[in-house]
Amino acid sequence: MNLKLLYPSSWKDYELIDSGDGQKLERFGRYTLSRPEPQAIWSKVLSEKEWLSMADARFEREQKDKFRFSDEVKGGWKRGKNMPESWQVHYQYNNLSLTLRLALTGFGHVGVFPEQGENWNFIYDTIQSWKISKPRILNLFAYTGAASVVAKSAGADVTHVDASRPGLNWANQNMQLNNQSDIRWVYEDAFKFVRREVKRGNKYQGIIMDPPPYGRGPEGEKWTLQEQLNELISMSSHLLEKNECFFILSMYAVGLSPLVGLNVVNTHFEIQAPEVGEFFLKSKNKNDLPMGTFLRFRK
């Protein structure tokens, strides 16, 4: 088995400029942001003066240990005078033209994970290659909906599941920005939704999931990746069609090997030659930045 490394190779509106000392410096469209990054344990290439001069906004966390944090840690943005609260970026891949709304959130996120561009390409190419009218795609832990909009743009019937009302509203805005409609929004705990779908006997041509290490559902349901992923994948195997199908698992839990996802998926799916590996962001200045792991396959 060969582990693959994926990075967004053709996104003109995104650039990793530098990283180090627990931070990353990125350009999203017209604006450059400085944000915490726990895996960047090396030294920055550029000077602190260069970082300060380039950053239109900086997110600073209120804690001493910069290498161990979660979304619950308090922090805030320091914006330059020309930095808006929200803006748009564009992504182009063959006939796919995607517009996404970005914003400065209280957790330091901006509404997109750039490394997922390679998965968007995979989704678009796979759906376009099928001769199925409106294949059914399920997007779990679906965040602000970039993958949902890509699948819809490729001609799919999309069900988007997330436990965050603000996330669903944001995804709806992204749908409208791309002149799409009729994505099915489901405000529910993803684990509970999948369990019900299995009981209903529903099937999908594609399943996309990006489960967080920890989370809470709308009714306080507790999600823990290492305790529940195996059962979630098991249930999902009953939802996926046997042929003309695809499956994508992304994981951002620091310290988990790509082999974890492979072993769990191999336990419940009969597949050959899945793509397995790590996402990373290619740096303009020397040090590439690891971002998470992925497993995907198609039949």
DSSP string, 94-147: TTEEEEEEEE--TTS--S--GGGHHHHHHHHHHHHH---SS-EEEEES-TT-HH
Q: How many helices (H) and strands (E) does the chain have?
A: 7, 17
Both tokens of residue 69?
A: 């944090």
The pLDDT value recorded for residue 159 is 98
C-alpha 20 chain-centroid distance? 22
Both tokens of residue 33?
A: 């942001």
The pLDDT value recorded for residue 69 is 47
Q: From first to last of its 299 residues, what are the pLDDT tens digits of the chain?
A: 678 999 998 899 999 999 999 999 999 999 999 999 999 999 999 999 999 999 999 998 765 555 444 545 567 999 999 999 999 999 999 999 999 999 999 889 999 999 999 999 999 999 999 999 999 999 999 999 999 999 999 999 999 999 999 999 999 999 999 999 999 999 999 999 999 999 999 999 999 999 988 888 888 888 888 899 999 999 999 999 999 999 999 999 878 899 999 999 999 998 888 999 999 999 988 899 999 999 999 99
Cβ atoms 34, 50 nearer than 8 A: no
Q: CATH: 3.40.50.150, 3.40.50.10300, 3.20.20.70, 3.40.630.30. Which one for 113-166+177-298? A: 3.40.50.150
Cβ atoms 243, 299 nearer than 8 A: yes
Element (H, E) at 212: none
The pLDDT value recorded for residue 221 is 86
DSSP letters of 27-57? EETTEEEEEE-TT--S--SS-HHHHHHH-SE
Q: Could you give the 3-state DSSP secondary structure of residue 238?
A: coil
Cβ atoms 42, 119 nearer than 8 A: no
Cβ atoms 138, 152 nearer than 8 A: no
